[in-house]
Amino acid sequence: MSWSDRRKVLALLAATPLAACGFSPAYAPGGAAHALREAVALTEPKDRNGFDFANRLEDRLGRASAARFRLDWSVAAEPVGAGITPTGAITRYTLKGQARYALVRLDGGQTVTSGRVDSFTSWSTSGSTVATLSAEQDAHRRLMIILADQVVARLIAAAPQ
Distance CA 74, CA 1 (A): 58
Sign of CA dihedral 46, 112, 27, 21: positive
78 bridge partner residues: 96
At the top level of CATH, which class does the domain 47-158 belong to?
alpha beta
**141 has pLDDT over 90:** yes
- Per-residue pLDDT tens digits for 38-84: 899 999 999 999 999 999 999 999 998 889 999 999 999 999 998 88
Distance CA 82, CA 126 (A): 13
**101 has pLDDT over 90:** yes
For the chain, which residues make up each domain, given as ranges?
Answer: 47-158
